[in-house]
């Protein structure tokens, strides 16, 4: 029988990892929590915002995380099992890039902001004829670190955090190593769609209602986050196949940049997108994959664009 379901107040948020934070909610193993989460900007980007507003975001409101959730009987050395039950995007989202951020800051040294209508909760339109299937997930899920003090929510770590794993969708089970009593779980940074790599800096950032169930696996320690998917990784995107570009060089990051640049060229020359639209589309649906790593001195990275987005 499923355990009790709790509802966390939307105001119970924080934006640092810190094991001294007071729990927003205390639950038992086997119980679920419904989170009502803000977008990654903490509401400083709105449907009326312009591109020039991106650098003006309040850093004290960025990365608002719901929680922390104290799970009774969770101790260091245990594993917290997080069953992702449901994710419901809000009616609006945004994608943007700005100078000195993202994979290609030298190619896009300015601000750009795309607003998305998510009101049908199934797809979003980049432009007429380019439709993105929504595949929502939380970009950030994690537990409090064992090291005392405040830690940034921007980088991922061994306890989880800003992992941006696009496959942590409904039906997936996330496993996190418990480092402090109760685990102190938090989540946020919700994406309604994102490709592997999130190359322009953002996915489709959006508010989201998230339902998770928690279970303590006693005495089963793992070194870092692990997860179990419920089926095919990209079932919403696979039906019509992919167009892929590659980058090859002696540096893995350079290979990734070249693969994305080649995809942007493909999208502008063959699909009629502007370069800004192409960069955004790569960020929200294209997957970067390390195709070749062992035959040094060259590394090969592929960029996969799902053809189903072109109607």
Residue 235 phi, psi dihedral angles, 5° rounding = -60, -30
What confidence score (pLDDT) does residue 54 get? 95
pLDDT band at 60; cut points 50, 70, 90: confident
Quick check: is 236 in a domain? no
What confidence score (pLDDT) does residue 6 get? 97
Query: Picking from 87-91, 157-161, 292-296, which range would have the lowest pLDDT averaged per residue?
Result: 292-296
The residues, any chain, with a CB within 8 Å of residue 235's CB and separated by 6 or more, are: none
Quick check: is 188 in a domain? yes
Query: Picking from 19-23, 26-30, 122-126, 231-235, which range would have the lowest pLDDT averaged per residue?
Result: 231-235
Quick check: is 113 in a domain? yes
169 shares its domain with 210 = yes
| Closest of 143, 190, 148, 200 to residue 170, by C-alpha | 190
Q: How many CB atoms lie within 10 A of CB 21?
A: 16
What percentage of the chain's residues is helix, strand, coil (to nearest 5)? Answer: 15, 40, 50
CATH of the domain at 257: 3.10.28.20
Pair of tokens at residue 226: 């692990």
Which domain range does residue 53 map to? 5-228
What confidence score (pLDDT) does residue 220 get? 87
249 shares its domain with 224 = no
Residue 198 has pLDDT above 80, yes or no: yes
pLDDT band at 168; cut points 50, 70, 90: very high
pLDDT band at 56; cut points 50, 70, 90: confident
Average pLDDT of the chain is 96
221 shares its domain with 266 = no
Residue 1 has pLDDT above 50, yes or no: no
What confidence score (pLDDT) does residue 57 get? 85
Quick check: is 284 in a domain? yes
25 shares its domain with 51 = yes
What confidence score (pLDDT) does residue 36 get? 97
What confidence score (pLDDT) does residue 2 get? 65
Q: How many CB atoms lie within 10 A of CB 167?
A: 15
224 shares its domain with 246 = no
Q: In this predicted model, what pLDDT tens digit does every residue of 100-145 receive, in sequence order?
A: 999 999 999 999 999 999 999 999 999 999 999 999 999 999 999 9
Residue 150 has pLDDT above 60, yes or no: yes
Q: What's the CA gap between 271 and 277, in Å, rounded?
A: 11
CATH of the domain at 212: 2.60.120.580
Residue 89 phi, psi dihedral angles, 5° rounding = -65, 155
């Amino acid at each position: 029988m499923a355990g009790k379901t709790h509802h966390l107040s939307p105001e119970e948020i924080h934006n640092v990892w810190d094991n001294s934070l007071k729990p927003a909610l205390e639950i038992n193993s086997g119980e679920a929590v419904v989170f009502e989460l803000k977008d990654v900007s903490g509401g400083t980007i709105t449907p009326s915002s312009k591109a020039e507003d991106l650098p003006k975001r309040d850093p004290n409101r960025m990365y608002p995380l719901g929680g922390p959730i104290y799970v009774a009987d969770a101790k260091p050395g245990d594993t917290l099992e997080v069953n992702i039950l449901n994710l419901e995007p809000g009616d609006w989202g945004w994608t943007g890039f700005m100078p000195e951020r993202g994979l290609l800051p030298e190619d896009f040294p300015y601000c750009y902001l795309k607003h998305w209508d998510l009101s049908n909760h199934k797809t979003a339109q980049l432009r007429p004829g380019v439709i993105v299937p929504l595949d929502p997930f939380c970009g950030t899920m994690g537990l409090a670190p064992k090291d005392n003090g405040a830690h940034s929510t921007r980088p991922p770590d061994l306890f989880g955090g800003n992992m941006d794993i696009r496959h942590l969708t409904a039906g997936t089970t996330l496993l996190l190593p418990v480092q402090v009593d109760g685990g102190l779980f938090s989540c946020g940074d919700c994406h309604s769609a994102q490709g592997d790599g999130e190359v322009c800096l953002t996915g489709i950032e959006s508010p989201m209602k998230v339902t998770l169930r928690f279970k303590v696996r006693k005495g089963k320690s793992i070194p870092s986050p692990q997860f179990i998917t419920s089926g095919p990784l990209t079932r919403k995107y696979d039906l019509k196949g992919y167009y892929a570009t590659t980058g090859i060089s002696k540096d893995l990051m350079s290979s990734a940049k070249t693969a994305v640049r080649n995809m942007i060229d493909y999208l502008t020359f063959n699909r009629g997108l502007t370069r800004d639209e192409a960069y955004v589309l790569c960020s929200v649906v294209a997957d970067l994959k390390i195709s070749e790593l062992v035959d040094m001195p060259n590394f090969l990275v592929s960029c996969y664009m799902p053809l189903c987005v072109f109607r």
